[in-house]
Amino acid sequence: MGHDPHQYFVAPARATPELWRTLIGVVMIFIAGLALYQLAFAFLSNLIGPNATQGLVESLTLGDDTVIGTLHILLSFGFFGIALFMIVRGLHHRSPATLFGDWAAVVSDFLRVFLTVGGLFLALMILLPTDIDYVRNTEMPRDRWLLLLPVSLAAVMVQVGTEELVFRGYLQQQLAVRFPKWPLWLVLPSLLFGLLHVSGDAAGPNLLAYVCWTVAFGLAAADLTARTGALGAAIGLHAANNVMAILVASLNGPGSGLALYHIPMAMDDPRISAMMLPELATTLCVWLAARLALKV
């Protein structure tokens, strides 16, 4: 694999490569992110009162398939992004900007991959024969969907950006400098990415299939990051996938409130496991398409 730019990407982590720092950092990102989330609602309670805040919390958590519930899910990732920036600055004594790689490459790689992969996803959705039914979301007429689109895209970018900064930025950099002769930077963050993405209760018999697909997606994103020496390609790949899965056509259930279309299946539908082999093939195709767009 052509990973020479990877050395440039991971160089800022060389000053503090200790494994104990990384382990503490991962734990503190989770703890600090939750604390910031709680502080935000405590501040809100002071503004609008505890009863109104409690009602809002209930509507957000119980209505996780609504517009506001889905936005809440996506935007809540931002607290963990802020926590990550605090940990990188305080524990590793470096700028959070070093997690991105070269900024010029971040922007250009993002645009190339997002447009290429997004176009490919749309083409596959329209042209390939499928047994999947796409049902219009009756709560989301086209004009409302278009009106919300800027906010929806921003929320998706908060979620995608945070995940990429944690897994392909922070963890990949720290592991690459700590274990330079082993591909742990490629495998371990992708495994964690897969395991943390799926709830066993929600996925039911499809748990293994979901984990395998998410790990494969993580490997593709990590490889693109290494080949380009920046996070732009991984963010573009992830954003294109999530725009399709969250804003265009979403499975019924949590996080489906912003979608123009619904797929009338739950995450534990037994038909989903049979769909995972084509999904893995699609992941391979979009990874190759991204590489062609980037010429890497």
DSSP for residue 255: T
CA distance 33 to 26: 11
Rounded percentage of the chain residues whose pLDDT exceeds 70: 98
CB 110 within 8 A of CB 71: no
pTM: 0.94
Alpha carbon distances (Å) from 72 to 44, 51, 163, 214, 241? 14, 19, 16, 22, 19
CB 116 within 8 A of CB 290: yes
pLDDT at 217: 97
Give tens-digit pLDDT for 171-225: 999 999 999 888 999 999 999 999 988 765 777 788 888 999 999 999 999 999 9
Residue 136 above 60 pLDDT?
yes
CB 128 within 8 A of CB 50: no
Residue 129 above 80 pLDDT?
no
As given in the structure block, the two tokens for residue 223 are 């490889």
- Which residues make beta-bridge pairs with 101? 230
Instruction: Report which secondary-structure segment, H or E, holds 226.
Output: helix 207-228
DSSP letters of 14-45? GGS--HHHHHHHHHHHHHHHHHHHHHHHHHHH
Q: Name the residue type at position 224.
A: L
CB 113 within 8 A of CB 224: yes
